[in-house]
Structure 1
Amino acid sequence: MQFILNPWPWYVSGPLIALVMALLLYFGKTFGMSSNLRTMCTIAGAGKFSNFFKFNWKDQLWNLTVVLGAIIGGFIAVKFLSTTSGANLNPNTVAELKNMGFKNPGATLLPNEMFSLEALSSPKTLILLIVGGILVGFGTRYAGGCTSGHAITGLSSLQKPSLIAVIGFFIGGLIMTNFILPLIF
């Protein structure tokens, strides 16, 4: 059973995100996915090995609902709300991706050259995943939060460090997309 729905327009989803952020600010809570990893590690006993994980994790237990919601929402989106139609890409983007070696850009939502079980058997892909994971983990810790935490919570509460972090995320994304990704593929 599959329902085909269009994505929610910005004028519905944007105010809903703003409402959630206003409620979080009112109740003195912050939102971010990377803080959930810290909470889960603390629950698993990481505080025995590092002072970073020594805190009252029960105060952050509410935030784990975000992880649960992301998992359930992802499942619902894939099973009931997705199509197999692919992505409608700009012709210039399709040409650039073909020059990089992608066979059918836009035919699927995620390119098989990067996101398939066959791609995982490649040492190059494994190295990229490991190095990328380490860099994301280091960057998240160094920046004091992840993209969702800084871009949604930090900017909503007018925090200057979050503005600087978000600008850095965009610059890093532009550098990766325009200079590093073409060298990899």
Structure 2
Amino acid sequence: MELVEWIRQPWEWYVAGPMISVVMFLLLYFGKEFGVSGNLRTMCSIVGAGKVNEFFRFDWKGQVWNLVFVLGGLIGGYIAKTYLTASEAVGISEATIEQLKLLGIENPGATYLPASIFSWESLATPKYALMLVVGGALVGFGTRYAGGCTSGHAISGLSNLQWPSMVAVVGFFIGGLLMTHFILPYLLTV
């Protein structure tokens, strides 16, 4: 297999896993903790939110590295999508495709995100606009309430053996399963 073809394939766990581990060891070595949601606090502090709220009064300059990390993630995602993705199709089982069709998803698996949900046209409908606004508010509340996001707790918190991160990750999975199997099917068929 050519190198370019190999790069365009999804990377196996034994490649991606150790890469994540190396990043975590480097963060631990330099005394940093990884998390994406904390960047919103950093950005708000940069623009002066500390004048309005105590929560935003902290030394944000020590968190600029995390903003650079997220920027690198965005750039890496763009490069992967634009240059390294072999096709738009997603490999999902026939049973899943049939289930998604029953829920009203058009052409499931044809693209990474179903256009019948994730498009400007869908956003213009009250149903999907409300789902995105309420969902975003719940994610924001949950992130703040849990003291971090899934990446911070599941990657950084668990690698530091933090009990609150274990509780948060279990909660994330339970919430995800409930949403996937009970709430989302109801919302899509209403």
TM-score interval for Structure 1 and Structure 2 normalised by the shorter chain? over 0.9
Match runs of 1:1-185 below 5 Å: 5-185=8-188
Percent identity of paired positions between Structure 1 and Structure 2: 60
Q: Which runs of 5+ in 1 are unaligned?
A: none
Alpha-carbon shift at residue 84 of structure 1 (Å): 3.2
Shift of 1:130: 0.6
Amino acid at match of 2:119: S
Which residue identity is paired with 1:178? H
Q: Distance in 2 between matches of 1:161 and 1:73?
A: 30
Q: CA RMSD in A?
A: 1.1
Q: What is the Cα deviation at residue 61 of structure 1?
A: 1.1
Query: Following TM superposition, by how much is the alpha carbon of 1:112 offset from its aligned partner in structure 2, in angstroms?
Result: 0.8
Q: Would the aligned equivalents of 2:9 and 2:85 in 1 still touch at CA under 8 Å? A: no
Tell me the amino acid that sits aligned with residue 103 of structure 1.
E
| 1:152 to partner: Cα distance | 0.3
- Cα displacement (A) at 1:85: 4.0
Give 1:20 shift.
1.0
Count of aligned pairs:
183
Which structure has the higher relative contact order (CA within 8 Å, separation 6+)?
A: 1
CA distance in 2, matches of 1:46, 1:137: 17
**CA separation in 1, counterparts of 2:92 and 2:11?**
19
* Range with greater deviation from structure 2 (141-150 or 123-132): 123-132
Question: Offset at 1:90?
Answer: 1.2
What is the TM-score of this pair, normalised by structure 1? 0.95
Kindly state the Cα deviation for residue 123 of structure 1 after the two structures are TM-superposed.
1.0
* Aligned counterparts of 1:119 and 1:73: Cα–Cα separation in 2: 27
Shift of 1:86: 0.8
Preserved CA contact (<8 Å) 2:103 2:185: yes
- How far has the Cα of 1:174 moved from its partner? 0.2
Return the letter of the residue paired with 2:29.
Answer: Y
- Divergent runs of 4+, >6 A: none
8 Å contact kept, 2:153–2:168: yes
Q: Unmatched 5+ residue regions in structure 2?
A: none
Q: Is the partner of 2:27 in helix, strand or coil?
A: helix
